[in-house]
A and B are shown apart, each in its own frame.
Chain A
Amino acid sequence: DQQVKQNSPSLSVQEGRISILNCDYTNSMFDYFLWYKKYPAEGPTFLISISSIKDKNEDGRFTVFLNKSAKHLSLHIVPSQPGDSAVYFCAALDSGTYKYIFGTGTRLKVLA
């Protein structure tokens, strides 16, 4: 049973436009959420996170939105750049069990 889902396996966006990556979760005990970026043959690298007590967190071009009632989070990248082309994973943490659960990933391609 997939507790964290990324329903779009891939996304293509024009350079300079907004990229929106989505993530849904089912476990209401998750209280911390993270986004990671992964290039081929490298380990995932941390991008941005959000606590369940917030609904938005910004860091430069990256903004994460959390809608707890819908159990949905999204990552916005504005403006998108070719170097943003990678696989993006969302992850959720249940602080009680200390399990970080990841989604299946979305491959983003930013077209120059």
Chain B
Amino acid sequence: NAGVTQTPKFQVLKTGQSMTLQCAQDMNHEYMSWYRQDPGMGLRLIHYSVGAGITDQGEVPNGYNVSRSTTEDFPLRLLSAAPSQTSVYFCASSKGGSAGELFFGEGSRLTVL
């Protein structure tokens, strides 16, 4: 089972460049979310979605855009990358509808120079 798949695993960008981190899940989960992990800061919620067509902001949404056109995919867009966005990004999903565990992808390490 693939579970939650994130691509790319590694990316280096220059300041001002744009890119999209891809996230796909094959578990028919309604809920999907993006986190970033930084030293000493834990996992911070960027954006989340409770279903196709619905997105909402998390704790640190500035500088990131998301959309949810299908149940399976939840891409995270950086429109103009900044060095402060250097981080490890994790996508997670859960069944939704009631409280349950989040399933995480393996992460995408992004460096902005």
Contacts and interface: CB of A to CB of B under 8 A. Distances in A.
Contacts of A91: 43, 102
A84 interface: no
Interface stretch (B11-19, B33-41, B68-76, B78-86): B33-41
Given A100-B33, A101-B59, A51 B102 contact: no
A45 B107 CA distance: 12
6 contacts: A42-B106, A43-B4, A51-B99, A98-B50, A100-B33, A102-B43
A105 to B, nearest CB: 5
B58 A102 contact: no
B42 A44 contact: no
Interface of A: 6, 9, 31-32, 34, 36, 41-46, 49, 51, 89, 91, 93, 95, 98-105
A100 B48 CA distance: 9
A32 B99 CA distance: 7
Interface in B5-61: 31, 33, 35, 40-45, 48, 50, 58-59
Contact of B102 (A31, A41, A46): A46
